Amino acid sequence: MGKKRKQPEKEVSVKKEETAPERPERTLLGWKDKDADVEEKQQNGDSPFFRNKEKLLVTCSRRISYRFRHLMLNMVSLLPHCKKDSKIEAKESKGSTLNELVELKSCSSCLFFECRKGKDLYLWVAKSPNGPSVKFLVDAVHTMEELKLTGNHLKGSRPLLTFSSNFEKDAHWRMLKELLIQTFGTPKDHRKAKPYHDHVFVFSLLDDHIWFRNYQISVPHNETDKVDRGGLDKMTLVEVGPRFCLNPIKIFAGSFGGPTLFDNPFYVSPNERRAADKRKKAGKYAHKVKAKTRRKAHEQDNPLQPDEYADMWKGE
């Protein structure tokens, strides 16, 4: 047999593998490698990715009583955009400590519950780091555990904020209204907030005090009583709690201090009230002592006449 002729080698065309590009790393704020346009939009605030800038830090001072601690925990459960931290010593330097803590927690607002003498509760509401801030005296505290009301709403839902019309009468009330809106209002599209509005925070201004109430929006869901869109006449409000009253003391230009923008002229400290009650009780006791002295002097000046029948039954 003859040998096979050697065939010429055919050029084999090797096709390049069409592989998908490597997927960039995903973070909480979006894709890690963004192009220049997205970065520019993000710097201008027009980013399609939600960046949570409004966070609230909730903390308290050491040696706080159990009722005030329960009130703080009730507020933590009502505000899904808040962060809770450990207790802080209530000293004169607490402002700088709180500002550093707010910055470390990446928060923009702060609620600080400060307890004095185990019986007086003060609430600081501050915007960090540039202010303003306000100091309240908290009165008429009633927690959810004490009230045991029938209202119940979804935990983590966004609240509606309502204010009475007299918040617009003075400049300091308008400032407090805006501060409360930015503090208690849950940001839209927050990752911990539920997409529902089933309760409402009510801030009422009466006798220069701010009264806080929390109500559930109760809507009938039966087929016969189904509420139409905008049918507010069939909706009812059921109170959930807690309840408390805020008495503004001072408004500061900075965060936890700075120049005083407003000083409440009608504010009376709890120490002054307790001192007045003690003086009142002391005056009542002194009045009793004087009355006894006058009675004894009257009996000495006006002795009783001897009774003619006093010795009638002594012989028997």
pLDDT for 46-85, tens place per residue? 555 556 578 999 999 999 999 999 999 999 999 999 999 9
Distances (CA, A) of 311 to 152, 306, 307, 308: 80, 11, 9, 7
Distances (CA, A) of 89 to 58, 92, 111, 128, 219: 14, 9, 15, 19, 45
* Whole-number pLDDT of residue 313: 79
Cβ-count burial 94-123 (b if 16+ within 10 Å, e if not): bbeebbebbeebebbbbbbbbbeeeebbbb
In this predicted structure, the answer to whether residue 36 has a pLDDT above a threshold of 50 is no
Question: What does the mean pLDDT of the chain come to?
Answer: 85
pLDDT more than 90, % of the chain:
59
Please give the Cα distance from 134 to 94 (Å, whole number): 15
**Higher-confidence position of 49 and 128:** 128
Q: Is the pTM of this model over 0.95?
A: no
Instruction: Examine residue 242 and say whether the peptide bond preceding it is cis (omega within 30 degrees of 0).
Output: yes
**Which tokens is 259 given?**
């120049």
